[in-house]
Amino acid sequence: MLPQSQGVAAVLRDEPLIELASVGKDYTTEAVVVRALRHVDLTIQHGDFVAIVGQSGSGKSTLMNIVGCLDRPTRGTYRLDGLDVTRRSNDARAIVRNRLIGFVFQGFNLLPRTTALENVELPLVYRGVGVAERRRRALEALGAVGLADRLHHTPNQLSGGQQQRVAIARALVTSPPLLLADEPTGNLDTRTSYEVLGLLQRLNRGGITIILVTHEPDIAACASRVITMRDGEVRSDLRNERPVDAAVALAALPPSGAESDERAP
Partner 1 sequence: MRGYLAAVRIALRAIVRSKLRAALTVLGILIGVAAVVIVVALGTGVRNRILGEISGLGASSIYIFPQSTQASGLRRRESVRMSEADGLAVLKESTSVAALSPFSSTSMQIVAGEANVATQVMGVTRSYLSILSYRVAKGDGWTEADEQLKAKVCVIGETVREDLFGSSEAVGQYIRIGKHPFRVIGVLEKKGQSPFGEDQDDRLLMPIGSFRSRVVPSAPGKVQMLVAAATSERTVDRAVEQIDRILRQRHEIAPDDEPDFVIRTQAEFRASQERILDTLTMLLSSIAAVSLLVGGIGVMNIMLVSVTERTREIGIRMAIGASEGDILVQFLVEAITLSLIGGVMGLGAGLVVIKVLAAALGWNMTLPVSAVVIAVGTSATIGIVFGFFPARRAAHQDPITALRHE
At closest approach, how far in Å is the CB of 111 from partner 1? 6
Considering the complex, state which of residue 47 and residue 68 has its C-beta at the smaller distance from partner 1: 68
Distance between CA atoms of residues 265 and 263, nearest Å: 6
Considering the complex, what minimum distance in angstroms separates the CB of residue 89 from partner 1? 9
Q: What whole-number distance in Å separates Cα of residue 209 and Cα of residue 207?
A: 6
Rounded to whole angstroms, how far apart are CA atoms 176 and 168?
12
CB of 119 to partner 1, least distance (A): 9
**Minimum CB separation from partner 1 for residue 68, in Å?**
7
Residue among 186, 243, 232, 205 nearest 40 (CA):
232
Min dist. Cβ of residue 123 to partner 1 (A): 4
**CB-nearer residue toward partner 1: 60 or 170:** 170
Q: Which is nearer to partner 1, 49 or 103 (CB)?
A: 103
| CB neighbourhood size of 228 (10 A) | 18
| Amino acid sitting at position 104 | V
Q: How far is the CB of 38 from partner 1 (least distance, A)?
A: 19
Please say whether the beta carbons of 171 and 208 come within 8 A. Answer: no
Q: CB-wise, 1 or 34, nearer to partner 1?
A: 34
The residues of the shown chain that bind partner 1, judged by CB under 8 A, are 65, 68, 70-71, 90-91, 94-95, 97-99, 103, 105, 109-113, 122-123, 125-128, 170-171, 174
- Alpha-carbon distance 83 to 17, whole Å? 9
Closest CB to partner 1 among residues 99, 205 = 99
d(CA 78, CA 18): 7
Q: Which is nearer to partner 1, 94 or 248 (CB)?
A: 94
Q: What burial letters (b/e) apply to 24-58, b meaning 16+ CB within 10 Å?
A: bbeeeeeeeeebbbbebebebbbbbbbbbbbeeeb
Q: Taking the complex as a whole, how short is the minimal distance between the CB of residue 209 and partner 1, in angstroms?
A: 18
| Closer to partner 1 by Cβ: residue 100 or 249 | 100
For 132-160, the DSSP string reads: HHHHHHHHHHHHHTT-TT-TT--GGGS-H
